[in-house]
Amino acid sequence: MNGYTTLGTNNLERASKFYDELLSEMNGSRVMENERMVMWSTGADKPTVAVLKPFNGEPAAAGNGSMLGISCDSHSVVDKVHAKALSLGADDEGAPGNRTEAFYGGYIRDLDGNKIVFFKMG
């Protein structure tokens, strides 16, 4: 159902470098970019994630209660991507582990404070 997600940034260059390295751990790569935005995907038929400077010119701010969930192929990918995010300067919001019997996730806040969970269902 999800086609794309955008996350606001106040430093497009820094955010782009962070997501280039982070999403490469999942075979993600840039699929579109311009002076306001960079977008990544893992394939032509897959959802995309973008960081962008807000269109209204106001500073970007993380949404209270907003979170992006990025589906991973395995628990080991969740572990790997979570660790990579921390090594790139993200804040830990919850180490990888089972939250329920069917949900394994690891939580971070990116360099702009956006909350993200890398997860595997089942």
Instruction: Domain ranges for the chain, please list them.
Output: 4-54+67-121
Token output for 50: 């973008």
> What is the tens place of the pLDDT at every residue in 58-115?
999 998 889 999 999 999 999 999 999 999 999 999 999 999 999 999 999 999 999 9
The answer, yes or no, to whether residue 1 has pLDDT greater than 70, is no
Indicate the CATH number of 4-54+67-121 among 3.50.50.60, 3.40.50.300, 3.10.180.10, 3.40.50.2300.
3.10.180.10
Q: What's the rounded Cα separation, in Å, for the pair 17 and 105?
A: 24
- The sign one gets for the Cα dihedral 116, 86, 84, 34 is positive
